[in-house]
Amino acid sequence: MDDDLDTMSRDELLAEARRLRAGIRAHRDASGHELCWHHPALWGLLPEKLAPDIAVPSWDRFMRGCVAYRASLDVEAPDAPRTDDDYRPGGAG
């Protein structure tokens, strides 16, 4: 699956590593409402271009997952600043 790496030069490998690191950093640096979102841009860093075969939970199960994820942030990032920003499609916050 990663045979393309075998044919890359040193410079091409370095460029690929930088590109992947930039994508990982963008995902890592997500904040606020961005934390909850589907991230196809991260998957787009892979050379194989396919539509992800995702399953979407029903609303009640989805919301339980959101609540559990948010609760995990209280444990994993207890000192992170809190925000009261509302979600705005396509915008910050």
Quick: pLDDT tens for 76-86.
999 999 999 98
Closest CA to 52 of 65, 38, 62: 38
Quick: pLDDT tens for 42-77.
888 999 887 778 888 999 999 999 899 999 999 999
**Which residue's entry shows tokens 């959101």?**
66
Closest CA to 66 of 24, 27, 35, 28: 35
Per-residue confidence (pLDDT) for residue 33, from 0 to 100: 81
Rounded to whole angstroms, how far apart are CA atoms 67 and 36?
A: 11
Mean pLDDT of the chain: 89
Which of the four pLDDT bands, split at 50, 70 and 90, describes residue 91?
Answer: low
The pTM of this model reads 0.68
Per-residue confidence (pLDDT) for residue 78, from 0 to 100: 96
Kindly calculate the radius of gyration of the chain based on its CA atoms and give it in whole angstroms.
Answer: 17
Per-residue confidence (pLDDT) for residue 48, from 0 to 100: 87
Instruction: Identify the sign of the CA torsion 41, 47, 49, 55.
Output: negative
- Inter-CA distances, 42 with 21, 69, 83, 91, 92, Å: 11, 19, 25, 19, 19
